[in-house]
Amino acid sequence: MFKGSIVALVTPFKNGRIDEDKIRELVEFQIRSGTQGIVPCGTTGESPTLTHEEHNRVVEICVQAARKRILVIAGTGSNSTAEAVALTQHAAKAGAQGCLVVTPYYNKPTQKGLYLHFKAVAGSVKIPIILYNIEGRTARNIETETVAKLARDCRNIVGVKEASGNLQQVKDVRRACGERFIILSGDDILTLPIMELGGVGVISVVANIVPQDVVSMIAAFNAGDKHKASEINDRLIPLIKAMFLETNPIPVKHAMGLLGMCSAELRLPLCEMEEANAEKLKTALQHYGLLKGQLV
């Protein structure tokens, strides 16, 4: 169910408020492009600076706009277990097909604490839960033993978005959790290497602007045409690198602003790109053939 190209959707703002109409446009764009799923209110969706009301509203808009034509996997993680439970329960009630729950950040729980946190969240709903492992942002890695224990003990913990950058860990999780456990790349540049190890897709940043190419790359890989998949990936790599010239989602929002897809507006403490990096990003977009007033 949760496989292929899944976009980590940006949250467009307009004069400090969420731009509801633009969210709907972006969902339609992803559906037309063949994207398999969207993740509202994740890292790329600037969830840390959304109020609870805004967070819930963004999920509701995406579910309503999707009309079950595309999967909606709501980002519902928090460093507070009670808050994560509340956000997850709301997403389930709103009609999301699943939730992406990030490792609690800042408070640095033990592995036992992580287990109890995710177990509490999973136990509060019936819809599938995907763990989101990104130590670089949260200061905690979900160790393989913890992932395996959660997969055994919680029937609706069905997979992990693996953004540790550690391919050995991906191998270990596949071995410990079995073939049915879903592994999704959390890093665009590692999508193909992770799929070689048994991953089934990506939760992608770059697919905000080139969804068809990410869809095509994964489809080629799954069809056994690894040469074509590699060619698409090689073309994507400079653009992917440009998406991370500064902290995500600063560059992708800047790119979407240049392409007329939505405002580049961010919320502090995120701020507009440094001029030198903005020029590098613009060059990458030009080389890719995107700056022609047309969505690709």
Which residues are catalytic, by number?
132, 161
Element (H, E) at 8: strand 4-8
Q: Which of these, 70, 81, 88, lies nearest to 31 by C-alpha position?
A: 70
For residue 23, give both structure tokens.
């969210």
Provide the 8-state DSSP code for 104: P
Q: At what angle do helices 81-94 and 111-123 cross, to 10 degrees?
A: 30
Alpha-carbon span 148 to 2, nearest angstrom: 18
The answer to whether 205 and 198 are in contact (CB under 8 A) is no
Provide the 8-state DSSP code for 197: T
Q: What is the DSSP string of 273-296?
A: PPHHHHHHHHHHHHHHT-TTTS--
3-state DSSP assignment of residue 121: helix
